[in-house]
Amino acid sequence: MSADRLTFAPSKNNNKIQNIIMAIVGKKFPSVSIDAMSEMGDDLKINVFEEAVSKGKKVLLFWYPKDFTFVCPTELHAFQAALPDFEKRNTIVIGASCDTNEVHFAWLNTPKDNGGIEGVTYPILADTHRQLANILGIVEQEVEYDEEGNEIFSGSNVTFRATYLIDETGKVFHESVNDMPVGRNVKEYLRLIDAYAHVQKHGEVCPANWEEGKEAMNANRTGVAEYLSAN
């Protein structure tokens, strides 16, 4: 099934467009090239799917609502602080919002103690047309129609805090979406990457609260029985 968002026309009793967001875990990430900004001020084009496949790396793509806001810089600095840990796990980190490259660059040149993200070194997508964000269905916006059929938009028109983990084949193995006021726990994504890498290497499955170095189990009745009896 397509990762595109399915949209239904309003009925006679409901003049609001209803959106059904399709999960893309287990599917290939959309292959779309998007403008991006580097730490050095270079205008880039990044295709997240191709980044994973062509480089043979996992990708963590995280969306945040808006530059020059409040929770957002804490997350960008948290991912930057953990960048060596992601690199050890053969994982590329990419940020994303719907701001322009120019706004990204201004924020990258604003000191941390003034609310900026100076020191962030991974690229940031500038999905100003909401092309990829709308495919993923993560933009906070609804469309209603008045009695004359005119469109009335509501919502912030920026993205929720969506996060995608993509493997070396371009397949999504994790997705999550936080509401805008709730920041992410970066360590959890490291744990998820470790767990998925364990599955890839050993063919075992990882139980609840699994962490690197802990016991995993075989995906059969004997495996779960042995694990539960020991834990």
Catalytic sites, residue numbers:
72
Please, are residues 40 and 31 in contact by the beta-carbon 8 Å criterion?
no
Angle at 57 between CA 119 and CA 160, to 5 degrees: 60
**How many other CB atoms sit within 10 Å of the CB of residue 39?**
18
- Return the axis-axis angle of helices 71-81 and 186-202, rounded to nearest 10°: 40
CB–CB of 218/204 below 8 Å? yes
Radius of gyration of the chain (CA): 20
Half-sphere exposure of 155 (CA within 13 A, CB side): 17
Residues sharing a CB contact under 8 Å with residue 52, sequence separation 6 or more, in sequence order: 29, 58, 59, 92, 166, 167, 168, 169, 170
Alpha-carbon span 185 to 183, nearest angstrom:
7
Which DSSP symbol is given to 189?
A: H
The answer to whether the Cα torsion of 59, 215, 78, 89 is positive or negative is: negative
Q: Which amino acid is at 159?
A: T
Distance, C-alpha 39 to centroid of its chain? 20
